[in-house]
Amino acid sequence: MHNRRDFLLATLQGAGALALPLATASAAPATSVDPKHKFCFFTKHLQGLSFEEIASHAAQLGVDGIEAPVRPKGHVEPERVEEDLPKLIEQLKKHNLEMTILTSGINEVSAEQNTEKVLRTAKALGVARYRMNYWKYDLKQPIWPQLDKIKAGVKDLIVLSKEIGIQPLFQNHHGKDYVGAPVWDVATLMRDYPADDWAFAFDILHASVEGGTSWPIELRLVQDRIGAAYFKDYQWTGGKAEVVPLGEGMAPGKEYAKLLKAGGYAGPVSLHVEYIKNKLVTKEDVQKAFEATRRDLAVLREWWS
């Protein structure tokens, strides 16, 4: 009886065979779309696969790298970053891939978040940028004092990141109490720093849920400090924004890509396949996750080209 690792590897090889026509038909797909941009995808939906399986799947898709969760319950636990992150990077390098973005649980300098250990280890392994964790407002308290507190607290993180040589990115989320949901609040904090020291991972799903038709204003506001462009889609279901396959929902992804290109954006482009939520237990689960990534990436490349 094969163990789970053998089973998933066999599944990956099977899925890879299906992917070969796509990879062959578009040699170096990411660079053929636009040589300025690095294309990657967030691997949260592949949680449970081995580092080898994740890297092999990414290689089949022809991306430049991955955006990987190095945070509690992620591919790498922060406490084990010195032991396990080199193993993940090693598998990526075997396929000429990079960790384009490290998704962290970090929003302060603290022992609890293993801030220095995670960031120094990542930088030593060639990781250029990391996505920060979010903050939330206490809506029973005034907003400006809370922003002032965040401003004071994040200063140490920005200083440490600059010293190490790794760029922090802040992702805007939607929701009644998320700091950064309206974009303007965090953009105000960022004005104290050059874009190289602190930038946005601008998420078009969250921006359009919060901004409605005004999202181009928020984009224009921070267009000179976007460090990564996030693509995913949604539909309203029962009063909630539910993530759906790219191009099947309401997020204006195609227009977003057009505006980014017109504005001269040259940073990483990251696909998020967050509607795949089941644990990868069966062969069908793995295949569904692989096919979803492949399909959405094809849509994104079409928009970008």
Query: 34: Cβ–Cβ under 8 A, 6 or more apart, which residues?
Result: 261, 304, 305
- 3-state SS, residue 73: coil
The predicted-structure confidence for 107-118, as pLDDT tens digits, reads as follows 999 999 999 999
The predicted-structure confidence for 236-269, as pLDDT tens digits, reads as follows 999 999 999 999 999 999 999 999 999 999 999 9
- CATH number of 4-304, picked from 1.25.40.10, 2.60.40.420, 1.10.10.10, 3.20.20.150: 3.20.20.150
pLDDT at 281: 82
Domain definitions of the chain by residue range: 4-304
pLDDT at 122: 98
pTM over the 0.85 mark: yes
When pLDDT is cut at 50, 70 and 90, the band that residue 148 belongs to is very high
Angle between helix axes 253-262 and 215-222 (nearest 10 degrees) is 30
